[in-house]
Structure 1
């Protein structure tokens, strides 16, 4: 009962508060854009030479306002947005009218989660393992080499690294495709050929994300380990005659991982922001590309749908890691 009151309940309340605040901001931001999707659509229709009499035009505007949730006062639009949100209805997309927004998100979300979530976890594991070993054995030649590589790659802007890999391995040495997630016009199936094609298209965007991520975690973990290995309990373990492998795995790395787990939860919040640049550079068919098209066309419904979905996925991931944290840190369980 004490755990529920002091640990679980505050985090669940904070979870719902973050969602409410985030969704409210998502509702407000598109309405600050200078683009009016209704007038833009009417302008496109009239630019083709089509004639609309005033009654038809007024009826069309009212219908479009209803479809895009822009009918009524701002307060009425806000509550209408929440009612539709609870039903999983974001309305139709503007630039792919009349396809529902939820259908577009359902098509693009697996691509983004498959690429960004996988690379985040892989880079976190590799970076922390290499950082722990490099911090405990800084005199080793391989640790010094990794240090030099990290000092070159880590400060490099992501888009520079991504474009460099694209030019090198897709243009100069055409090993991998220039972009896309699959063959143009191809149909994805669960066979070996389709899986290999998917992996080939995902290799360059995944490699660019992993390279940046690995050396980010490597540097952070190395600094933590260099501090932890001088603690008294580590010195006592050495005096007790424990092997180096046990000291590193059970004492140094286990204690140094605690802030890194918190860092993993925070890095999950960067998944969708990283998707935008990655998917545009590599023409990857995920939420980043969809978000770019939504911003460019002023698609209110699609913008709010993508950002709302991002808020739910990110806050839920952070909540799950936060609730699992007592498993890794006995001090939290004790309190």
Structure 2
């Protein structure tokens, strides 16, 4: 127990350092851009009418307070961290005066739902089929699936998205091709709205799964192919242990370690994994929000999204590091 507590303290320190460095890099990059959000907001507000210099100056001071740009660079930096610690990234430039945190919370469930479902389904199917292919090496069906997955895997997922869009949107129009749900849908009917969301997510999920499943399949097949030659597996087969039990308890369990780590990284990067897919299908997630923020020069929104992403990736890696000694008994907490 003491060894695990030492391991936990080291991982927590690593987590804090990674988050701190990552957010600082994001802060420097966004503040080095030539865009001045205050002047851009003033320009947009005074485009269609004359405004007195006194009113413009008062507006400038108010906006500098809102964006945390008052004082010296050090004072701005300290103000930024005070806001980050309470989850306040200020107002959005492109959707002023809506807070950045509100925009992120509005888009986050769409991206999390889309990528969580697609990532977990891809991971489960890819590892299951890959483990079977590595153990039953003479299966023609699994060999054919391996060839197909290796052929699709190098294709960019947005190309697959466009192909699915053409097939199911124009050649055989049976699925919706845009949006997260039907416009003006009745959200009071929870079941009908949930089914509508599921139907709209089919094509984005398929585009991500078609490309992603090959990597998990090939990785698991390679791991299982090495494990089946180990002495304890050969001995279990010679002893007459049921092949299903050997596959589950002796092979698949020992091969899942690296795959679980890969899954943690995939889940942590859930914010940037479907940016182009969300654009292709007009999905109202964080990816589309990030693209819109970049186009509008809304550095507050970009900073908020990247900060949340950094914390999410680091937290997921920390979680899997803490669970690893519990999942794989061969790993000692040091």
TM bucket normalised to smaller:
over 0.9
Quote how far apart the aligned CAs of 1:42 are: 2.4
Q: Is the 8 A contact 1:171 1:178 kept in 2?
A: no
Deviates most, 210-219 or 184-193? 184-193
Q: Is the 8 A contact 1:237 1:247 kept in 2?
A: yes
1:71 aligns with 2:62: no
Q: Is the 8 A contact 1:119 1:206 kept in 2?
A: yes
The runs of 4+ residues in structure 1 deviating greater than 3 Å are none
Quote how far apart the aligned CAs of 1:5 are: 4.4
Which residue does 1:112 correspond to in 2? Answer: 111
Q: Is the 8 A contact 2:177 2:203 kept in 1?
A: no
Which residue does 2:193 correspond to in 1? Answer: 194
Q: Is the 8 A contact 1:94 1:301 kept in 2?
A: yes
Q: Is the 8 A contact 1:68 1:300 kept in 2?
A: no
Q: Unaligned 5+ residue runs, structure 1? A: none
Question: Aligned with 1:271: secondary structure?
Answer: coil
Which residue does 1:94 correspond to in 2? Answer: 93
* Alpha-carbon distance in 2 for matches of 1:37, 1:275: 28
* Alpha-carbon distance in 1 for matches of 2:104, 2:124: 29
Q: Is the 8 A contact 2:268 2:315 kept in 1?
A: no
What RMSD over aligned residues (CA atoms) do the two structures have, in Å? 1.6
Question: Aligned with 2:282: secondary structure?
Answer: coil
In the TM superposition, what whole-angstrom CA distance separates every residue of 1:141-165 from its partner, at most 9, and x where no partner exists? 1111111211221011111001111
Q: Unaligned 5+ residue runs, structure 2? A: none
Which residue does 1:172 correspond to in 2? Answer: 171
Question: Aligned with 2:270: secondary structure?
Answer: helix
Quote how far apart the aligned CAs of 1:322 are: 1.6
Quote how far apart the aligned CAs of 1:138 are: 2.1
Q: How does 1:116-127 map to 2 (within 5 A)?
A: 116-127=115-126
Quote how far apart the aligned CAs of 1:198 are: 0.6
Quote how far apart the aligned CAs of 1:26 are: 2.0
Q: What TM-score does the superposition give when structure 2 sets the normalisation length?
A: 0.95
* Alpha-carbon distance in 1 for matches of 2:19, 2:42: 34
Quote how far apart the aligned CAs of 1:18 are: 1.3
Q: How many residues align?
A: 334
Q: How does 1:291-302 map to 2 (within 5 A)?
A: 291-302=290-301
Deviates most, 29-38 or 123-132? 29-38
* Alpha-carbon distance in 1 for matches of 2:75, 2:189: 46
